[in-house]
Amino acid sequence: MEHFFKYLNLGKIINSQPQNIGFRVILLVPSIVLLSVASLHLLSSYSSSSPWLMSYINSISFGKKCDIFRGEWVYDPNRLPFYTNFTCPEIFDQQNCMKFGRPDSDFLKWRWKPAGCELPPFDALRFLELVNGKSMAFVGDSVARNQMQSLLCLLATVEYPADVSQTTSARFKRWLYTTHNFTLASFWSPYLIKSTETTKPNGTTKSLTNLYLDEAHTNWTSQIEAFDFVIISAGRWFFGPKMFYEKGHVVGCHFCMRKDTKNLTMFYGYKRAFRTAFEALLGLESFKGEVILRTLSPAHFENGEWNKGGECKRTEPVSRAEMKVNWGDWEMYKSQIEVVRGVEREGKKRGLKIRVLDVTEAMAVRPDGHPNHFGHWP
């Protein structure tokens, strides 16, 4: 399996220790590509059941070596967006850069061209036919939610689903496309595992999070068993002070500033969280779905962190030579790949497919996709 960091000698690694960058929202403008790629993942399972699927596969021009995760962004001045902030109501204000004054729009006119092949444009109707009678869940933080929202926006050109959420919380949404009996859901779980915040006597929250590394969070594991496709991801929430628990006991921490507690670094907790999430899915007896890990989308702030004067002012993709990858993001990406390699064999024993949606390279060169200060907090 080829991976993004073979190209790092062409770019730049920012060799700095990870800081507490807090919570931020990333707008995944290129998520159309991710969903096209996800569609290709499904083809191998269902192509024989539908004649048009074979035609769709044949429309993809494969070379001798086609790696859909490696390629480049190609500018198309005549390209029309699949949706806008006017046509899709699912774009939150904090992501809605066009609504709040972003002056440029060329960032919408780039298409992903994989090395060695051509991807056809995303086809909403065919996607719905492909997932007819199926269900798909996104589990993770705001980036996972953004990906789900983007899919909603893409499919809205064909059908708008009924909201069948089991709660009023925007963090746990469930949609049903009645015409195709397709269920789409998102589960908010930024750590994938159980977490609690420590509090001061007056009830205010300290900046220290307790992570229970061997306990997958029940806010998603209790509802995930019936889903056919589960896309998991996590990232930025792991920065900052953390206390790590295993079997109910403190085993170490990250940036907790306590002399009596071993510093295990954030990557220890990050890796364990993904491992626990996979183990939880593999341990569900009735779960027969496919698990897809979406790799990290790197940070794009320049001239400082998000809360220290950093900005995302780029208006077009950067080249690999210009690409900057934070040291912490690099380590997180490697942790994700390492975990997947470790659980693939276990998945095969259970008859489960574990896949990687390796978008890190494609996202690393798209700093123009961030809403920057044009987003608006409620």
How many domains would you assign to the chain?
1
More confident residue, 49 or 73: 73
Helix (H) / strand (E) element for 74: namely: strand 61-75
Q: What is the pLDDT of residues 108-162, one digit of tens each?
A: 899 999 988 888 888 999 999 999 999 999 999 988 998 999 999 999 989 999 9
Amino acid 374: pLDDT = 60
**Inter-residue contact 229 to 292 (CB < 8 Å):** yes
Average model confidence (pLDDT) across the chain:
80
Please check whether residue 309 lies inside any domain of the structure.
yes
Amino acid 324: pLDDT = 75
Amino acid 189: pLDDT = 98
Tell me the CA end-to-end span of the chain in Å, nearest whole number.
42
Site of tokens 């002012």: 313
Please check whether residue 364 lies inside any domain of the structure.
yes
Per the structure, the complete domain to which residue 315 belongs is given by: 4-31+75-110+131-374
Please check whether residue 40 lies inside any domain of the structure.
no
Residue 246 scores a pLDDT above 70: yes
Q: What is the pLDDT of residues 19-52, one digit of tens each?
A: 333 222 333 333 444 454 455 555 555 544 455 5
Amino acid 310: pLDDT = 59
**What region, left, alpha or beta, does residue 104 occupy, with left being phi > 0 and alpha being psi -120 to 50 degrees?**
beta
Please check whether residue 200 lies inside any domain of the structure.
yes
Helix (H) / strand (E) element for 197: namely: strand 193-199
Highest mean pLDDT among 16-25, 264-273, 344-353: 264-273
Please check whether residue 221 lies inside any domain of the structure.
yes
**Inter-residue contact 350 to 281 (CB < 8 Å):** no
Please check whether residue 87 lies inside any domain of the structure.
yes
* DSSP state for residue 263 in the 8-state scheme: B
Amino acid 121: pLDDT = 86
Residue 258 scores a pLDDT above 70: yes
Please check whether residue 13 lies inside any domain of the structure.
yes
* DSSP state for residue 49 in the 8-state scheme: G
Highest mean pLDDT among 20-34, 240-254, 352-366: 240-254
